[in-house]
């Protein structure tokens, strides 16, 4: 976002800039477009196979990436971490490491025992980096291989919760 306040032009992040009288915000200037393209190039360098990023690149006219490519699927947006913590109330996944080694996953790269296998993390993932796999006669698993006992949820009716973590959501047919 580009903002002009008191006739002074600034490039600022809209999420942290306070609103004030006379503030003018420009979201489609040359400078903003340049910044968007650079950000998209960085995301594509990290996740070159992401369909949503490819689509955005096409829309913005980004034809090539000038940065070293990695073969990752996660753009580190943190939606899965927030959803697990704030929506589900579990906090089974989080950010690990810093810099270019940063990643998202369960503690110590081991299956999180508190994960209930609800699939919220996979649902909110914009790039499809988190996938839940259903294998016949076996529990649902994340790609980091956490097994789950299936129990029927009283809200959605799906069999996917472990009873000790969210007894308030379970319906037992005993």
Residue 6 located in a structural domain: yes
Q: Order of strands, edge to edge, in the sheet holding 24-26?
A: 8-11, 2-5, 24-26
- Tally of domains in the chain: 1
Residue 8 located in a structural domain: yes
Residue 92 located in a structural domain: no
Residue 13 located in a structural domain: yes
What's the domain range around 26? 2-60
Predicted confidence (pLDDT) per residue in 50-81, tens digit: 888 999 999 999 999 998 888 888 899 999 99
Place of tokens 């340049």: 34
Predicted confidence (pLDDT) per residue in 118-133, tens digit: 788 888 998 888 876 6
DSSP state of 143: T
Residue 107 located in a structural domain: no
Least confident among 1-10, 79-88, 103-112: 1-10
pLDDT, the chain, mean? 76
pLDDT score for 139: 46
> pTM here?
0.64
pLDDT score for 123: 87
Cα–Cα nearest to 95, from 87, 84, 106, 86 = 106
160 pLDDT tier (thresholds 50, 70, 90)? low
pLDDT score for 134: 45
Mean pLDDT value across residues 14-38: 85
CB atoms within 10 A of CB 17: 14
Residue 55 located in a structural domain: yes
Residue 16 located in a structural domain: yes
Q: What is the maximal distance between C-alpha atoms in the chain?
A: 70
Residue 20 located in a structural domain: yes
């Amino acid at each position: 976002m580009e903002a002009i306040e008191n006739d002074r032009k600034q490039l600022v992040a809209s999420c942290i800039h306070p609103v004030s009288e006379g503030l003018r915000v420009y979201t489609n200037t040359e400078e903003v477009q340049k910044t968007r393209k650079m950000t998209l190039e960085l995301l594509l360098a990290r996740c070159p196979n992401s369909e949503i990023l490819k689509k955005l690149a096409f829309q913005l006219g980004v034809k090539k990436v000038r940065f070293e490519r990695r073969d990752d699927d996660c753009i580190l947006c943190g939606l899965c971490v927030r959803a697990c913590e704030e929506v589900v109330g579990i906090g089974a996944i989080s950010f690990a490491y810093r810099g270019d080694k940063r990643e998202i996953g369960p503690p110590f790269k081991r299956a999180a025992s508190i994960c209930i296998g609800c699939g919220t993390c996979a649902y909110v993932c914009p790039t499809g980096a988190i996938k839940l796999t259903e294998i016949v006669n076996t529990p649902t698993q994340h790609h980091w291989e956490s097994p789950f006992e299936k129990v029927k949820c009283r809200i959605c009716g799906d069999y996917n919760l472990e009873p000790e973590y969210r007894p308030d959501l379970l319906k037992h047919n005993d």
